[in-house]
């Protein structure tokens, strides 16, 4: 009775290693390759295949210059200012000690000779109170100037002016009246005009004048005495035919 059982166990023992050593099945065929997407245009999306010419220079639009608003124009500029005298009339007589600051009036007439330059003439009248009862002085000056305008094409027109001329000042100190005459060798002014219309403008200015008195009405002044005056004021401008 044991013989069939032992034979079955032996067969089972020999069949188990054989089943464990059975090789795996061969791999299946590889999956089919996917076709690459077709380009929508040119080599890549959005590229039409044309290579730009980087050597070709791009044309820059030319901006025309502002219209010439000064050349050939006639300008008239009356002004009012507060003026303070400085320097000496003669030895021992200083303007600052004899006179106080007072009102001044002036005017300039010019013609534009280019886009930025005006040439013309100027006049000035000062009435200055004295530091004593009944004392006063009147000063009249005039000469030529060159005015340079910094910009064009805008409403606000800044400028700087340089001029020269002559001056006569009559000093009334009560019992005596003396007139001093001399040369105005330096006149520097800076300012700006705001154009309310094409023809009319307004604006502030600051000015310094300096020179020498070389002659006096009653006597000799010697080698002359330097004088100066400071001005801060407001002016109007008439520009014909306009900007």
Is residue 12 domain-resident? Answer: no
Per residue in 214-239, pLDDT tens? 888 887 776 667 889 999 999 999 99
Residue 201 C-beta-side C-alpha neighbours within 13 Å: 24
Residue 152 sits in a domain of what CATH number?
2.40.160.20
Structure tokens at 235: 């002016």
Ranking 15-24, 105-114, 131-140 by mean pLDDT, the lowest is: 15-24
Mean pLDDT for the stretch of residues 90-97: 72
The CA-atom distances, in angstroms, between 29 and each of 26, 32, 33 are 9, 9, 12
pLDDT of residue 19: 47
DSSP state letter for 62:
P
Is residue 143 domain-resident? Answer: yes
pLDDT of residue 24: 67
Is 227 in contact with 74 (CB distance < 8 Å)? Answer: no
Is residue 91 domain-resident? Answer: yes
Is residue 157 domain-resident? Answer: yes
Closest by CA to 109, choosing from 80, 138, 79, 83, is: 79
DSSP state letter for 54:
T
pTM over 0.85: no
Compare 52 and 207 and report the one with higher pLDDT.
Answer: 207
Q: How many independent structural domains does the chain possess?
A: 1
Please report which confidence band the pLDDT of residue 1 belongs to, taking 50, 70 and 90 as the band edges.
very low
Residues paired with 238 in a beta bridge: 76, 200
Name the average pLDDT for the chain. Answer: 82
Is residue 120 domain-resident? Answer: yes
Is residue 17 domain-resident? Answer: no
Compare 110 and 132 and report the one with higher pLDDT.
Answer: 110
pLDDT of residue 20: 47
Query: Left (φ > 0), alpha (ψ -120 to 50) or beta: where does 174 sit?
Result: left
Per residue in 22-49, pLDDT tens? 566 677 677 666 666 665 555 555 555 6
Does position 18 have pLDDT exceeding 50, yes or no? no
Does position 193 have pLDDT exceeding 60, yes or no? yes
Closest by CA to 98, choosing from 169, 167, 166, 165, is: 169
Is residue 223 domain-resident? Answer: yes
pLDDT of residue 68: 80
Does position 171 have pLDDT exceeding 80, yes or no? yes
Strands (E), 113-155: 117-129, 136-149
Mean pLDDT for the stretch of residues 138-143: 96
Is residue 98 domain-resident? Answer: yes
**Matching residue, tokens 């820059």:** 60
Please report which confidence band the pLDDT of residue 122 belongs to, taking 50, 70 and 90 as the band edges.
very high
Domain range spanning residue 202? 74-240
């Amino acid at each position: 009775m044991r013989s069939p059982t032992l034979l079955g166990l032996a067969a089972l023992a020999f069949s188990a290693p054989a089943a464990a050593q059975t090789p795996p099945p061969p791999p299946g065929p590889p999956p089919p390759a996917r076709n690459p997407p077709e380009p929508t245009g040119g080599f890549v999306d959005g590229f039409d295949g044309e290579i730009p010419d980087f050597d070709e220079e791009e044309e820059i639009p030319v901006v025309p210059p502002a219209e010439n608003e000064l050349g050939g124009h006639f300008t008239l500029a009356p002004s009012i200012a507060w003026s303070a005298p400085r320097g000496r009339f003669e030895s021992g007589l200083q303007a600052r000690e004899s006179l106080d600051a007072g009102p001044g009036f002036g005017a300039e007439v010019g013609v534009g000779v280019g886009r930025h330059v005006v040439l013309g003439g100027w006049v000035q009248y000062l009435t200055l109170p004295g530091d004593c009862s009944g004392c006063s002085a009147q000063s009249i000056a005039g000469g030529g100037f060159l005015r340079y305008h910094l910009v064009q094409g805008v409403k606000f027109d800044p400028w700087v002016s340089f001029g020269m001329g002559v001056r006569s000042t009559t000093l009334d100190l009560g019992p005596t009246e003396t007139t001093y005459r001399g040369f105005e060798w330096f006149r520097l002014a800076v300012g700006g005009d705001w154009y309310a219309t094409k023809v009319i403008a307004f604006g502030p200015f600051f000015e310094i004048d300096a020179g020498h008195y070389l002659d006096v009405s009653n006597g000799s002044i010697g080698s002359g005495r330097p004088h100066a005056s400071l001005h801060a004021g407001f002016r109007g401008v008439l520009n014909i035919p306009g900007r």
